[in-house]
Structure formats: C-alpha cells, structure tokens
Amino acid sequence: MSAVDRKMLRDLWRIKGQAIAIALVIATGVLLQVMMSGLVASLSETRRTYYERNDLAEVFAPVVRAPQTVLGRLAKISGVDRVSGRVVGRALIDIPSDPVPIQSQAVGLPDTGEQIHNTVYLTTGRFPAENHRDEALLLSGFASAHGYGIGDRIEVTMNGSRRSIRIVGLAQSPEFLFVAAPGEMVPDPARYGVIWMRRSALASAYDMSGAFNQALFSLSRGASSEAVIDAIDQILKPYGGTGAYGRSDLVSDRFVSEEIDGLATMARAVPPLFLAVAAFLLYIVVNRIVQAEREEIGLLKAFGYTNREVGIHYTKLLLIIALAGAILGCLLGILSGRAMIPVYTTFYNFPFLVFRPDPTSFVIGAVASIVSASAGSIFVLKRIFALTPSEAMRPPAPADYSKTMTFKGRAALLFDQPTRIVMRGLARSPWRALALSAGIAGGMALASGMTTIYGAFDRMMNLSFTVIDRSDATVYFHSPLGEKAAYELARIPGVIAVEPLRDVAATLRLGRELHRGSISGMVAGPEITRAIDHTLAPIDLPARGLVLSKPLAEILGAAPGDILTVDVREGRQPVLEIPVTRVASSLIGAPAYMQLDALNKAMSEPARITGAHLRVDDAKADQIYRKLKDMPAVAGVSVSENARASLQKLMDQGAGSARYIMGAVAFIITFGVVYNAARIAQNERARDLAALRVMGFSKSETTFVLLGELAVIVLIALPVGSLAGYGLSFLIANGFSSELYQIPASYDPFSHGFSAAFILAAAAISGLLVMRDLNRMDLVAVLKSRD
C-alpha cells in the first residue's frame, strides 16, 4: 500500500462519523431507486407473463343477450384472431356470520374443452365436473379471507334465486388482479368474491341457454383495436351491446397500471432529491478537508506528486464513501423490495411475484453516487492545483475582517464577549453559514413534506367519509327500478333517511380525450352523499349540465362551459351533448355528477333509480342488512364503515405504505445533514476554539461559541425549510395521487412543528456529541497543527 493510500485511510478514520452519515444519505437515495425501479420491473414483467400465459382477452364486449351464432360473425371481423363467448352475472354470497350480503361475480367455464381466454389459474383443488351443476371454483383471496376450503358449501343468490354451491377448487385469474365491488374503488378480498361454474349451470341461472352476454377477443398482430371495437359494437348493438372496450379499460388492469406508473414516477423523481443532498454534503466535507490539508498538499507536490496523483488521492476518499453508500443502498433496496412483495400479492392477487431488481437501477445508483462524490471535489481541488508547492505550504493569508461588524458603546454592553464572537463569526463567513443553513433547510423540507403527507392521508379519509359521503350504507339494485323502491327502503325499521341514486355507464368525450366511467345521478340538494367545491361547501346540482370531479376534469381537459359528448352504454344508449357547469373536489375516484331528474329525462326513462344511500340506526344495522339480503332486487350493499376500513388498510399496507419508507428516509437524511453541519463547524473552528481556551475562556463559553453559531444556522434554516417543505408536499401528494384516491396537500401546522422539533432535537444531540469532543480536545496538538 502506498504512502498516500495509508494517509487516505487515516483521513477516512478521522472523519468516520461524517463519512457514515454521508454514506447513509447516499444509501437512502439508492435504496429508493433500487426498490422502486425493481418493483416497477417486477410488476410489469409479472403482469405481462401472467397475461400471456393465461390468455387475457385484449377486447371485452358485454351484451344483454346474444345467440351463440353471432360469434361466427364476430370472428370474421378484420383484425380478430380468436373470439369466445361466455356467461357472467352478478351474485350475492350469504355468509351466515355476516349480516351484510357479499357481492360477487359469477363467471362461466366451458362445459367441455379448455378456456380460450382468461384461463383460470388453479391454486388448489380441481375444476367443476361437467355434469355437476352445484360445483364451483372460488377466488382464493376471498376464500382465504373467510376461511373457506375444498368441500365447503356456500349459499349464493343468482338472478333472484338461492342456490347451494360446493367449493371444489380455489383459483385466481388475470382478469381479477384488482378486486373491488361495483360502486366501490377500494380492493377488499373479504368484500367481493368471484365464482367460476360450468357454462350450462350459469346459463340456466341467468336464462342464457344457447346465448352469451360477454364476448372476449384476441387481436391479430398489428390490428387496430379502435377499428375492431367499432365493428364489434355495430354487430352487437341489436342484441343490447353496451360497448366493447380494450384491456386498458378493464378495471383490474387500469388500477394495476396506475400503481406501476405511480411507482415509476416516484422512482424518477424522489431518489435524485436525496442524491442532491448527498452531493451538497460531500462538497462541504471535501472543501473542509482540502482547505485544512492545504500545507500537506503543498508538501506532497514538493515531494514530486503531480496534481493528478493528489487529485486521485482525495477523490479515492470520496469514492469510498460514495460506493459504500451505494452498495449499502443496493442491499437495503433489495431487502425493502422483497418486503413489499407480499403487499402486492395480497392486494393485487398475483399468483406469483418475485422481486427482481432492475440492473439499470444499480448502474444509475452507482453512477449517481460517483458523480455526486466527484462533483464536490472538482471545484475545490481546482483552486488548490493552481497554487505552487511553496505557496500551498504556507498558511493562507488571513482574511480581511476590517469591514465586518464591530461592537462599541451600548452594543458592547448589550452582548457578552462569547455572543459577540458568535455574531462576528457569522458575519465574517456568511456564505459558509448560508451553505450549512441551506443543507439543514433541505432536510427540514424533506421531513416536513413527508409529515404533511401523513396528515394529508388522514385528511383525505375524514373528508371522504364525513363531508362528501355521509351515508352508512349504499344499496344497489340488479336493474333500474321505479322510485317506489326508495320508499320501500325507507319503511324498513331503523332506516333514518334514504337518498335515491342512479349510476349510468357512459363514455365521456371532449375532443380527442375520453374516459370510460359512469354518471352519478343524485337529487338536486343531496344531504347524505354530496359534491363539494374547493371550500368544502356542498354543490347544488343544476337542472341541466354535468358537475365533474377535479380528477375527471383533468383527464378530459374540461372546464365549466365545455360541451361533453356522453355516449351512454345502457338502456336506449343515447348519445348526449351535455355542458360542464362546475368542477367539484373529489378524493376517491373520478366521478361525474348530474341531477337525477335531468339524467332520467336525458335517458327518456323518468323516475328510475339503481340504488340508494342510507342513514341507519346503528342499533338496528344488522337487522336492516339481513332484511336487504333477503330482497331479490338487491344486487349488493356497500357499508361505509367497511369501505373506510379497506381504504385505510390499502394506505397502510398497500400502495400508500411507501410513504412510511420515504418518511423514515427523510428523517434519516435530516439528522445526517444536521450532524454533518455540527461536525463541519467543529473542524473548521477547532484552532480558533483552542486559542480561546488558552486565552482563558471556560469550556462552557467555548462550547457556546461553537454551538451558538450552529443554533443561529438552524434557526435560520427552519422557516426556509418549512416553506420549501410546503411546496414539496404538493409534489409528493401529486406523486401518490391516482384515480383510486387523491391526496389533498395543504399547510399543516402540526407537521411543520413536529419537523422543526425533530431538527432542534437533532441539533441538540449533535451538539452534545460535539461538546464531548471539545472537552476532550488536546489544545497543544490543535494549536501546533499549522505551525
């Protein structure tokens, strides 16, 4: 080992505290890069493989009822490779221990042969026998949530008729990665089931003998999905076709895609923030080291070492720190990614999912670490290399402090001598103080921004379930009924209030932008479930026109006054031109609202409803839900308490759980920044502090001089960091928001106060560590260091 390499190791040991802190900052940035990029790659590759292996259809075409012979015409459409028809239907599962009827989807399997599309992945058991109409497969996630196994029987209501079905197998399907009940936006395996039965069994239950109500398509390579969908709609329109749609509009695929896109966005945006902080810290450290070793650099050059060799020497030290952080970040990123895998297998029903880090993320993390380390050394070493050995070996010329502040007269009496030293020190090196303050402000911004997001998640929950949706339960019917159905619900003992609704499936278009969703028809002045504006005031729905939620308005690029083309996909399927009147705030989903009477009039179906929002007496809730379970017209019941619990679980254990990792990382970085600021200040002032001790200053006075500067720097950083954190919280909230839920960022005094308290605590701990070293300082050795 060469002499300069041994010197490098000694230097590294001397600044081990700072080196560890900086390495941890780099590691956190690389951790997020590896974890998020790996999750994106793993989810994308697993989804692609799963879709291909199990032949997920590329186009879905629901229809009221079409004869089997129509499949031949559909197969002749240009661009269609394969087509199959099946029977599907809504069903209710009766769990005796649960008063609420569980919504489910019944899906037909071919009586003979294999499935052409959406092949079921059998996790255990066997397929239903061809001649046993009471046998079925059950979605494995639902079975696990309720403790069902092979051989158990469940009571199911299909098309108004009660049936007893025996479970012979548990299964999963690429069609049901994301499982949520109709009318709900949150996945909950316990609240929605999928049942697979032989086609003949479902055909008899839903009156589909010799017919189908959903066609599935695979397309030829290079085929235009838009042209194929238009041709499909033309053929199926006489049979009640409600509009074919591509795989990207499948609810399951759409939400999984949004999750992957959200992770990809954060993988691009978040890690650079942490690596930028690391680069800043490295710059300060290398600047201090090089300036402190100015004479040693001159001596090295005098002994014949070239500028290149000296530069490599100091660059090696930084690269060791950077590469150590990068390696640690890669290892922790792999562990974190693997820890997140159970979340996605639970919430997104993947039958298999292995975390496979993206090799590119390792390269990006290592390169970014090296660049951030090198960037700090280049500017500092350039100034040193310009010096001759003789000049570099001499101490730098004393700075000219003649124009800095002086304390005379009353000012001298107002401040004691240590305080005056602190103030003069800050005035003499303002840029150093501002640099350290900027680093602490950056840490404060990360901490306060993430803490604000914690509160924003809770605020979203409270607003959604106490201000926007104040219902206790929502009832859905199999088909539109007369308004008399709402009165019948109101007569159930324990029902306090009923507010009818009508949801109509529709495609909303504005120019080239479109959104496949629905229109929610509500009474003119809703009280139970409402649309609200940005001030949280309820919106009275106009007699004509649409009120769009903010997410939907952004998707379509719509504003009040725009005319939307609304292609209704049920009933008479009219195509309507409806103006946008208002934009409402929405925190869950992307709904569109319309007055109920106006919607029914546009549909030419007066006084029709598809469900109702209920307020119920808590003491009689179970009796009410059991009563609803026995009503043939009821297709499902969504209980707000269950929906809220599911959303909370999703945010704590699902996609939203990433905020906890990012929050922990933010606070680690914040402490690292404060600790480095204290250590840098100590090392830069070591000689001055030793001189003060020799001149008669006590240990406490000397400590006050050093930590007083740190205190001022920290106090300056707090308001700046708080302001930066306020802006950062909006960027982070936008990254977490999706069509599933939107995070409302706002100024949260508690979050900023908590972050400020953490900064002060970090400064106090760092100060204690520095004070311990000051008390142990060898005065003679420090004062002789530049002799």
- pLDDT tens-digit series, residues 374-413: 665 666 666 666 667 766 666 666 555 555 666 666 655 6
Q: Tell me, what's the pLDDT at 395?
A: 61
Mean pLDDT computed over 660-683 = 70
Tokens representing 242 are 């409600």
Whether residue 54 contacts residue 171, with contact meaning beta carbons closer than 8 Å, is answered with no
pLDDT exceeding 70 applies to what percent of the chain?
A: 84
**Backbone dihedral angles phi then psi of residue 243, each to the nearest 5 degrees:** 105, 115
Q: Tell me, what's the pLDDT at 421?
A: 73
Mean pLDDT computed over 43-64 = 91
**Listed range (48-62, 127-141, 157-171, 722-736) with the worst mean pLDDT:** 722-736
Mean pLDDT computed over 197-223 = 92
Burial level of 328, CB count in 10 A (0-12/13-18/19+)?
middle
Tokens representing 164 are 């007893």
Q: Tell me, what's the pLDDT at 787?
A: 42
Check pLDDT > 90 for residue 435. no
In angstroms, the CA 500 to CA 572 distance is: 21
**Listed range (16-30, 47-61, 128-142, 592-606) with the worst mean pLDDT:** 16-30
Check pLDDT > 90 for residue 647. no
Mean pLDDT computed over 328-347 = 81
Q: Tell me, what's the pLDDT at 387?
A: 64
Check pLDDT > 70 for residue 255. yes
In angstroms, the CA 514 to CA 510 distance is: 6
Check pLDDT > 50 for residue 59. yes
**Which residues lie below 8 Å from residue 734, measured CB to CB, with a gap of 6+?**
743, 745
Q: How many CB atoms lie within 10 A of CB 438?
A: 17
pLDDT tens for each residue of 145-156: 889 999 999 999
pLDDT tens for each residue of 672-727: 777 776 776 676 667 777 777 777 777 777 777 777 877 888 888 889 888 888 88
In angstroms, the CA 205 to CA 202 distance is: 5
Q: Tell me, what's the pLDDT at 19?
A: 78
Tokens representing 65 are 């009822």
Q: Tell me, what's the pLDDT at 284?
A: 65
Mean pLDDT computed over 23-42 = 82
Check pLDDT > 50 for residue 671. yes
pLDDT tens for each residue of 591-645: 899 999 999 998 888 889 999 999 999 999 989 988 888 888 888 888 888 878 7
**Listed range (38-42, 241-245, 306-310) with the worst mean pLDDT:** 306-310
H helices present in 695-748, as ranges: 699-736
